[in-house]
């Protein structure tokens, strides 16, 4: 840049000020000193109101998805709001069977946020995007007065491409007889956030499972498995996700409690706090629903991947005009698993 915009920011001790959201000199400086070097791609540096991108590959449709991230606290065991936003958005594109390509980032900063926290979060986003093979190509920053936010919120939109020929996974494609798989243990993210928030200590620290699932899904697709439904059980947990699918597909679901993987530390924390892990958010897990004859192959592929080591077949789709989710309990009984009601764990993502 030929002309300097102003005196250097104090990245160590400085705070976000209202002028950083003014659209004037301080905004431009924030973009040039933080966002452009961190996200580091040719598209972001264009310096215009938007970004010009190549079209999807021939024979591909577009996929678009969006998420606002308001997780509290901003930093938690296993991650922070920055990588969480990238993973969550990438996963929503991936759950459509699509390849994620481009992300946009809208920041709502609270006056007084430490600049070094903002920098750490932006670097975490950049690292997460690079690992997932996507680029953050456009952004916007607004600042609200102290007491009108909570550090920062990040809104993210993802755009990807989906081959015309792909029989795309969708919530209405579950069929009676289909197998239901989960890619790993349930409840890690929600319980990691909650223990951090409440200052609880357990013998085994619980880490968020936040991760991008595009590599894992690509391996299933490459193997030619027809993925009827893919869904990441985030807010509302596995219970709500399966209720959504049952409703969309007009089917019932039968789950086997003993086969649902849960870390002992998470199970203990849930028992201690009176929470049901079926309702706790995950940020690096997915539900796979496929024909029963593909289930063993899908399971083997998932278990061979670092993000699917503890994958399991946890139930099957059944014919049920009531669209109920039934759980066969360890005790041999059966109970209905309803949608999440109320919100026991707000601001989990």
Part in contact with its own copies (CB under 8 A); list of ranges 75-83, 142-150, 215-223, 264-272: 142-150
Please give the structure tokens belonging to residue 301: 């592929």
Q: Decide if residue 319 touches its own copies (CB under 8 A).
A: no
Q: Decide if residue 144 touches its own copies (CB under 8 A).
A: yes
The single residue listed with the structure tokens 């928030």 is 197
Q: Indicate which single residue of 15, 36, 68, 313 sits in contact with its own copies (rule: CB under 8 A).
A: 68
Please, which residue, 53 or 223, has the CB nearer to its own copies? 53
The single residue listed with the structure tokens 């939109």 is 157
The single residue listed with the structure tokens 């909570």 is 150
Q: Decide if residue 137 touches its own copies (CB under 8 A).
A: yes
* Least distance to its own copies, CB of residue 321, Å: 9
CA distances from 178 to 1, 52, 64 (A): 58, 42, 27
Part in contact with its own copies (CB under 8 A); list of ranges 85-93, 298-306, 310-318, 327-335: 85-93
* Least distance to its own copies, CB of residue 102, Å: 6
Please, which residue, 70 or 268, has the CB nearer to its own copies? 70
* Least distance to its own copies, CB of residue 40, Å: 17
Please, which residue, 261 or 344, has the CB nearer to its own copies? 344
Part in contact with its own copies (CB under 8 A); list of ranges 96-104, 125-133, 200-208, 296-304: 96-104
| CB burial of residue 325 (10 Å; 0-12, 13-18, 19+) | buried
Tell me how far apart the alpha carbons of residues 169 and 45 are, in angstroms, rounded to a whole number. 35
Please, which residue, 34 or 281, has the CB nearer to its own copies? 281
Count CB atoms within 10 A of the CB of residue 33. Answer: 16
Part in contact with its own copies (CB under 8 A); list of ranges 99-107, 119-127, 258-266, 312-320: 99-107
Question: How many residues does the structure list for the chain?
Answer: 349
Q: Decide if residue 146 touches its own copies (CB under 8 A).
A: no
Identify residues 240-259 at the interface with its own copies (CB under 8 A).
240, 244, 247-248, 250
Q: Decide if residue 285 touches its own copies (CB under 8 A).
A: no
Identify residues 21-50 at the interface with its own copies (CB under 8 A).
21-28, 46-50
**Residues touching its own copies: how many (CB under 8 A)?**
92
Q: Indicate which single residue of 87, 228, 231, 294 sits in contact with its own copies (rule: CB under 8 A).
A: 231
**Cα of 12 vs its chain's centroid, Å:** 30
CA distances from 258 to 105, 280, 315 (A): 41, 17, 10
Query: Is the link from the previous residue into 73 a cis peptide, with omega within 30 of 0?
Result: yes
DSSP string, 150-176: SSEEEEEEEEEEEETTS----TT---T
CA distances from 4 to 29, 75, 115, 276 (A): 9, 33, 20, 55
CA distances from 196 to 76, 153, 162, 278, 283 (A): 6, 19, 38, 20, 16
| CB burial of residue 128 (10 Å; 0-12, 13-18, 19+) | buried
Q: Decide if residue 158 touches its own copies (CB under 8 A).
A: yes
Q: Indicate which single residue of 102, 122, 193, 283 sits in contact with its own copies (rule: CB under 8 A).
A: 102
* Least distance to its own copies, CB of residue 169, Å: 8
Q: Decide if residue 176 touches its own copies (CB under 8 A).
A: no
């Amino acid at each position: 840049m030929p002309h300097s915009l102003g005196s250097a920011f104090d990245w160590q001790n400085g705070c976000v000020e209202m002028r950083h959201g003014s659209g004037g000199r301080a905004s431009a400086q924030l973009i040039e000193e933080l966002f452009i070097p961190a996200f580091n791609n040719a598209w972001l540096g264009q310096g215009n109101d938007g970004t010009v991108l190549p079209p999807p590959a021939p024979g591909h449709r577009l996929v678009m998805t969006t998420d606002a991230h308001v997780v509290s606290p901003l930093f938690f065991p296993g991650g922070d709001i920055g990588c969480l936003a990238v993973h969550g958005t990438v996963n929503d594109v991936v759950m459509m069977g699509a390849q994620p390509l481009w992300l946009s980032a809208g920041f709502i900063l609270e006056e007084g946020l430490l600049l070094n926290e903002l920098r750490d979060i932006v670097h975490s986003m950049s690292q997460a995007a690079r690992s997932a093979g996507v680029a953050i190509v456009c952004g916007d920053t607004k600042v609200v007065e102290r007491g009108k936010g909570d550090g920062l919120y990040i809104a993210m939109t993802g755009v990807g491409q989906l081959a015309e020929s792909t029989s795309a996974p969708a919530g209405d494609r579950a069929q009676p007889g289909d197998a239901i798989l989960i890619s790993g243990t349930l409840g890690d993210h929600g319980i990691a956030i909650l223990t951090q928030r409440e200052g609880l200590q357990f013998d085994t620290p619980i880490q968020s499972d936040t991760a991008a699932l595009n590599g894992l899904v690509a391996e299933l697709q490459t193997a030619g498995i027809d993925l009827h439904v893919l869904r990441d059980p985030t807010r509302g947990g596995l219970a709500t996700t399966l209720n959504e699918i049952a409703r969309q597909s007009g089917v019932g679901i039968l789950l086997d409690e003993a086969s649902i993987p849960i870390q002992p530390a998470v199970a203990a924390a849930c028992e201690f706090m009176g929470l049901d892990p079926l309702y706790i958010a995950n940020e690096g897990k997915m539900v796979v629903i496929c024909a029963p004859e593909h289930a063993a192959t899908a399971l083997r592929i998932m278990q061979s991947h670092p993000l699917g080591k503890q994958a399991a077949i946890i139930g099957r789709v059944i014919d049920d005009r009531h669209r109920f989710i039934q759980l066969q309990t360890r005790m041999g009984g059966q109970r209905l698993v309803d949608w999440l009601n109320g919100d026991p764990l707000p601001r989990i993502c």
